[in-house]
């Protein structure tokens, strides 16, 4: 641990706080530009004019003025490590120099032309992206965000199969357009508008909170603390959840379905790490009923899982359609639906058009992002540093009764807090908010997610072991502060 990085932090107003000092955040490669901004003005304008549906992570949102690799700075020059990856979008890092260079070149050359013409940035991206996928997934619809890509996959599945019924998992998040609301498995996100025609959500195979789960369910370093009698490589929980899916097929669905969409590890649903064999079994059942298998890789793609470039590879399945976004542009809006020529042709029976899909700037950014992931060997780095982070979190879980679950692989990691390990009762939201504020004060930005308030840790890929030492120490202090907080 980085004892030499300690600075005084007497500003914390806790009654008995044994850890009186907080570590100093590792040095960044740049010094932030000085800015002179009136925070209250920005807050006022936001409150007055920005749509009220956007929630903030803190009572007073942070005013971010700069980003570099894994770090962000606010208007006061305070540095943070961005464990949110700005909602899992920042893959190769904020303002990665190579990506910025390609973007600047494109800015000076060609911003946009209709995709009814050709441009070299799009050609480059199509070649690069298909080279990262199995051969049969050779046809791409370029779109602008994950929601659009998810919705297009739904249309393709219905058009191709001629069937209507579509399956998703409870606790899933696939975006919130009207069509996608039907796939949303978290009730507190659902507005009172008609949605979800022909979409059935099935029981989530959540091995921490669900009906079944044990200490052997996940492929990866972090298991639950629940007991089970499964031998190595076996997972009864997975089989039981597949049994529920089979029952849903038999009782609630017609013999033929359009498809099933699964996130290989759930993102916004609090990082629920679905058990070994579930995705494979679910896709086999889907295929038996004529449906297409869709992997939502919006968060799990492009090496975030470390051990695998794609979440479907990690889960050992072969999808018919892959949906990507977020990390593909490392913060720039671009997304894609990748499928077979035959499936993709369904939309060609009528006219189909997307104004900005394949935009020259976004294609330049995405091509450079894909290059950087390979050139800087980021996937292997994410695997190594992710394991380091997870092993540190597992040690913390042993020390704090309210750390219920640690899960994930690579840089897709979550911690679920609970009142205690045995009951797994929901951790009070106020206390979670306080811990997040405390983490922020010490320079660590994390997101939360899911129905029970899990903390989500999705570092940008350049984050180092030194960063993780800092993060783990800050978490330790925040958790300790929670234990000793004034009642
Ligand atoms: C797994 C998944 N699918 C789809 C989406 C929707 O993507 P977007 O917000 O880019 O529309 C998200 C967004 O968080 C997501 O996490």
Place of tokens 């929670």: 482
Taking residues 377-381, what's their average pLDDT? 98
Residue 5: pLDDT band by 50, 70, 90 thresholds? very low
Among 19-28, 255-264, 329-338, the least confident range:
19-28
Residue positions counted in the chain: 487
Ligand 1 atom nearest 175 alpha carbon: 6
The domains of the chain, with CATH numbers, are: 3-92+378-483 (3.90.1150.10), 97-375 (3.40.640.10)
85 Cβ inside 6 Å of ligand 1: no
Distances (CA, A) of 158 to 3, 323, 344, 437, 472: 58, 16, 12, 45, 46
Residue with the larger pLDDT of the pair 5 and 173: 173
449 Cβ inside 6 Å of ligand 1: no
The predicted pLDDT at position 487 comes to 59
The predicted pLDDT at position 247 comes to 98
Residue 48: alpha-carbon gap to chain centroid: 30
In three-state form (DSSP H/G/I as H, E/B as E, the rest C), the secondary structure along 173-199 is: CCCCCHHHHCCCCCHHHCCCCCCCCCE
- Residue 344 CA to residue 302 CA, distance in Å, equals 22
Ligand 1 atom nearest 268 alpha carbon: 16
159: nearest Cα among 349, 425, 352, 401: 349
248 has pLDDT over 50: yes
Helix, strand or coil for residue 6? strand
Contact 166, 253 (CB under 8 A): no
- pLDDT tens for each residue of 124-148: 999 999 999 999 999 999 999 999 9
Q: If you measure from the C-alpha of residue 323 to the centroid of ligand 1, how many angstroms do you get, rounded to a whole number? A: 10
- Residue 270 CA to residue 404 CA, distance in Å, equals 13
Q: If you measure from the C-alpha of residue 325 to the centroid of ligand 1, how many angstroms do you get, rounded to a whole number? A: 7
| Alpha-helix runs per DSSP H in 65-163 | 85-88, 97-109, 120-131, 146-161
Ligand 1 atom nearest 297 alpha carbon: 1
66 has pLDDT over 90: yes
Residue 474: pLDDT band by 50, 70, 90 thresholds? very high
Distances (CA, A) of 368 to 101, 297, 311, 356: 9, 19, 21, 19
- Residue 266 CA to residue 274 CA, distance in Å, equals 8
299 Cβ inside 6 Å of ligand 1: yes
The predicted pLDDT at position 14 comes to 35
Mutation test of ligand 1: which of 88, 91, 146 has the most ligand atoms closer than 8 Å to its C-beta?
A: 146
The predicted pLDDT at position 1 comes to 33
325 Cβ inside 6 Å of ligand 1: yes
4 has pLDDT over 60: no
Tell me which long-range contacts 341-346 makes (C-beta under 8 A, separation of at least 24): 341/138, 341/139, 342/160, 343/139, 343/156, 343/160, 343/292, 344/139, 344/141, 344/156, 346/155, 346/156, 346/159, 346/160
Residue 486: pLDDT band by 50, 70, 90 thresholds? low
Percent of the chain with pLDDT over 70: 95
67: nearest Cα among 57, 89, 46, 82: 82
- pLDDT tens for each residue of 452-472: 989 999 999 999 999 999 999
DSSP state of 461: T
226: nearest Cα among 241, 240, 207: 207
Place of tokens 């104004």: 355
Ligand 1 atom nearest 333 alpha carbon: 10
Residue with the larger pLDDT of the pair 234 and 426: 426
Q: If you measure from the C-alpha of residue 174 to the centroid of ligand 1, how many angstroms do you get, rounded to a whole number? A: 5
Taking residues 342-348, what's their average pLDDT? 96
Distances (CA, A) of 416 to 32, 270, 450, 463: 33, 8, 9, 22
Contact 413, 407 (CB under 8 A): yes
The predicted pLDDT at position 453 comes to 86
298 Cβ inside 6 Å of ligand 1: yes
410 Cβ inside 6 Å of ligand 1: no
Q: If you measure from the C-alpha of residue 465 to the centroid of ligand 1, how many angstroms do you get, rounded to a whole number? A: 28
147 Cβ inside 6 Å of ligand 1: yes
6 has pLDDT over 80: no
Residue 19: pLDDT band by 50, 70, 90 thresholds? low
Residue 64: pLDDT band by 50, 70, 90 thresholds? very high
* Average pLDDT in the chain: 94
11 has pLDDT over 70: no
- pLDDT tens for each residue of 283-319: 999 999 999 999 999 999 999 999 999 999 999 999 9
Mutation test of ligand 1: which of 174, 329, 414, 450 has the most ligand atoms closer than 8 Å to its C-beta?
A: 174
Which class for 219: exposed (0-12), middle (13-18), buried (19 or more C-beta within 10 A)? middle
282: nearest Cα among 324, 321, 240: 240
CA dihedral 135, 139, 140, 141 (to 10 degrees): -150
∠ CA 270-427-200, rounded to 5°: 40
370: nearest Cα among 382, 378, 358, 361: 378
Contact 265, 302 (CB under 8 A): no
267 Cβ inside 6 Å of ligand 1: yes
- Residue 307 CA to residue 464 CA, distance in Å, equals 17
Residue 41 main-chain phi, psi, to 5 deg: -60, -45
189 has pLDDT over 70: yes
475 Cβ inside 6 Å of ligand 1: no
Q: If you measure from the C-alpha of residue 385 to the centroid of ligand 1, how many angstroms do you get, rounded to a whole number? A: 25
DSSP conformation letters of 234-286: --HHHHHHHHHHHHHHHHHS-S---EEEE-SS-STTT---PPTTHHHHHHHHH
Among 44-53, 223-232, 396-405, 468-477, the least confident range:
223-232
- Residue 281 CA to residue 136 CA, distance in Å, equals 21
∠ CA 418-242-153, rounded to 5°: 90
151 Cβ inside 6 Å of ligand 1: no
202 has pLDDT over 60: yes
């Amino acid at each position: 641990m980085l004892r030499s990085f300690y600075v005084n932090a007497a500003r914390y107003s806790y009654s008995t706080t044994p850890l009186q000092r907080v570590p100093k955040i590792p040095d960044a490669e740049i010094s932030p530009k000085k800015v002179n901004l009136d925070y209250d003005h920005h807050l006022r304008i936001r409150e007055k004019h920005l749509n009220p549906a956007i929630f903030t992570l803190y009572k007073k949102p942070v005013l971010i003025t700069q980003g570099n690799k894994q770090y962000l700075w606010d208007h006061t020059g305070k540095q943070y490590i961005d464990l949110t990856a700005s909602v899992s979008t920042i893959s190769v890092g904020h303002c990665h120099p190579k990506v910025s260079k390609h973007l600047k070149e494109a800015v000076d050359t060609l911003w946009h032309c209709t995709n009814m013409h050709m441009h070299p940035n799009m050609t480059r991206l199509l070649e690069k992206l298909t080279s990262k996928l199995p051969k049969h997934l050779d046809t791409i619809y370029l779109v602008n965000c994950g929601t659009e890509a998810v919705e297009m996959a739904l249309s393709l599945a219905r058009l191709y199969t001629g069937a209507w019924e579509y399956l998703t998992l409870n606790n899933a998040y696939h975006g919130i357009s009207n069509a996608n609301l039907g796939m949303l498995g978290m009730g507190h996100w659902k507005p009172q508008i008609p949605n979800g025609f022909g979409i059935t959500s099935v029981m989530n195979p959540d091995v921490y909170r669900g009906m079944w789960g044990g200490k052997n369910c996940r492929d990866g370093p972090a298991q639950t603390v629940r007991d089970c009698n499964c031998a190595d490589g076996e997972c009864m929980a997975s089989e039981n959840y597949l049994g529920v899916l089979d029952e849903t097929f038999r009782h609630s669905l017609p013999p033929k379905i359009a498809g099933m969409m699964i996130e290989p590890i759930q993102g916004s649903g609090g990082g629920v790490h679905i058990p070994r064999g579930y995705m494979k079994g679910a896709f086999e059942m889907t295929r038996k009923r004529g449906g297409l298998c869709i992997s939502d890789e919006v968060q799990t793609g492009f090496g975030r899982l470390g051990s695998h470039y794609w979440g479907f590879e990690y889960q050992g399945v072969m999808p018919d359609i892959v949906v990507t976004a977020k990390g593909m542009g490392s913060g720039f809006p671009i997304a894609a639906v990748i499928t077979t020529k035959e499936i993709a042709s369904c939309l060609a029976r009528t006219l189909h058009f997307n104004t900005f899909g394949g935009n020259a700037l976004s294609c330049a950014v995405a091509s450079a992002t894909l290059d950087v992931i390979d050139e800087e060997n980021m996937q292997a780095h994410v695997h190594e540093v992710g394991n380091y982070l997870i092993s540190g979190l597992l040690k913390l879980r042993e020390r704090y009764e309210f750390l219920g679950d640690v899960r994930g692989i690579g840089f897709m990691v979550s911690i679920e807090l609970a009142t205690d390990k045995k009951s797994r009762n929901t951790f009070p939201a106020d206390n979670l908010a306080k811990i997040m504020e405390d983490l922020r004060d010490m320079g660590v930005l994390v997101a939360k997610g899911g129905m029970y308030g899990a903390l989500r840790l999705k570092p940008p890929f350049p984050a180092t072991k030194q960063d993780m030492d800092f993060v783990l120490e800050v978490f330790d202090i925040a958790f300790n502060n929670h234990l000793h907080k004034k009642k």
